C-alpha cells in the first residue's frame, strides 16, 4: 500500500472522529468513494480505533510505589562479575605471567635495539634537525608489562574474589 500524506492521514482521523464540518465531510466522502487506498486505510483506522476503545487502561494500586520501595532492600545487589569468572581471569593472568617470566629468565628478551629516527624519509622531510637514537631494552619492556599484569591481577583478585567473599561473610555474621 502506498504511503498517504500527513494531511490526508489527519483528514481520515478527523473523519473517523466526526470532527469535519458538513461541507468538508461531503467533499471528503466523494474523494473516499473513488479511492480504494483511502477506503482500506479508513478500515484499518476503524479497526485500530475499535480495539483501543475496547481495551481498558490498567492502573497500579495506590500503594504500588510504597510496596516496591519497601522491598528494594530485601534482595542484595549482585556483583556484576562472578567469583568463577574472576578465578578464570586470575588463572589466565597468572599463566601469562608465568610464561613471560620463563621467557625472560631464558634470555629471550635480553637484546637491546637501537631505534634511529633519522632513517625515516617522512621525518627527514618535515624535521630538518638531527634526531637522537633511542635504545630499547626488551627486558625492560617485558618487566614493565609483567608489573602491570601483576597490578591487574591484584585488582581482579580484590574485585571478583575477595570483595564478594568478605561481603558474604559480613552479611551472614561470621
pLDDT for the residue numbered 174: 66
* Cα dist from 85 to 74, 78, 82, 149, 163, whole Å: 26, 14, 5, 17, 14
Structural domain includes residue 20: yes
Structural domain includes residue 1: no
Q: Are 164 and 90 within one domain?
A: yes
The single-letter DSSP state of residue 4 is P
Mean pLDDT per block of 10 residues along the chain (174 residues) reads: 80 89 90 89 91 83 86 69 79 88 84 78 78 83 88 87 84 77
Q: Are 111 and 167 within one domain?
A: yes
In whole angstroms, what is the distance from residue 151 CA to residue 158 CA? 11
Structural domain includes residue 117: yes
| Length of the chain measured in residues | 174
Asked if 116 and 133 count as a contact pair (C-beta separation under 8 A), the reply is yes
Structural domain includes residue 93: yes
pLDDT for the residue numbered 81: 59
Q: Are 49 and 109 within one domain?
A: no
Q: Are 110 and 160 within one domain?
A: yes
Final residue before a domain boundary, out of 17, 39, 54: 54
Structural domain includes residue 164: yes
Q: Are 50 and 94 within one domain?
A: no
Domain that holds residue 160: 83-172
Structural domain includes residue 19: yes
Structural domain includes residue 142: yes
Structural domain includes residue 116: yes
Three-class secondary structure of residue 21 per DSSP: coil
pLDDT for the residue numbered 78: 62
pLDDT for the residue numbered 162: 85
pLDDT for the residue numbered 117: 73
Q: Are 96 and 29 within one domain?
A: no
pLDDT in tens, 83-111: 788 788 889 888 988 888 888 888 888 88
Domains: count for the chain = 2
Q: Are 45 and 111 within one domain?
A: no
The single-letter DSSP state of residue 63 is T
Mention every residue, 6+ apart, whose C-beta is less than 8 A from residue 113. 135, 136, 138
The three cell numbers of residue 65 are: 510505589
49-64: string of b/e by CB count within 10 Å (b at 16+)?
Answer: eeeeeeeeeeeeeeee
| pTM of this structure | 0.42
- The number of angstroms, rounded, from the C-alpha of 30 to the middle of its chain's C-alpha atoms is 53
Helix (H) or strand (E) holding 115: strand 112-116
Amino acid at each position: 500500500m502506498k504511503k498517504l500524506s500527513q494531511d490526508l492521514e489527519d483528514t481520515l482521523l478527523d473523519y473517523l472522529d466526526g470532527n469535519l464540518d458538513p461541507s468538508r465531510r461531503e467533499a471528503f466522502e466523494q474523494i473516499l468513494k473513488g479511492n480504494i487506498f483511502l477506503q482500506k486505510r479508513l478500515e484499518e483506522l476503524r479497526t485500530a480505533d475499535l480495539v483501543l476503545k475496547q481495551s481498558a487502561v490498567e492502573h497500579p494500586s495506590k500503594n504500588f510505589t510504597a510496596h516496591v520501595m519497601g522491598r528494594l532492600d530485601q534482595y542484595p545487589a549482585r556483583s556484576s562479575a562472578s567469583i568463577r569468572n574472576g578465578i578464570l581471569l586470575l588463572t589466565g593472568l597468572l599463566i601469562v605471567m608465568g610464561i613471560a617470566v620463563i621467557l625472560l629468565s631464558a634470555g629471550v628478551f635480553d637484546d637491546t635495539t637501537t631505534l634511529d629516527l633519522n632513517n625515516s624519509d617522512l621525518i627527514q622531510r618535515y624535521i630538518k634537525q638531527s634526531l637522537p637514537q633511542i635504545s630499547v631494552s626488551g627486558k625492560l619492556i617485558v618487566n614493565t608489562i609483567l608489573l602491570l599484569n601483576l597490578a591487574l591481577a591484584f585488582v581482579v583478585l580484590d574485585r571478583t574474589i575477595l570483595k564478594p567473599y568478605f561481603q558474604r561473610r559480613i552479611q551472614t555474621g561470621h
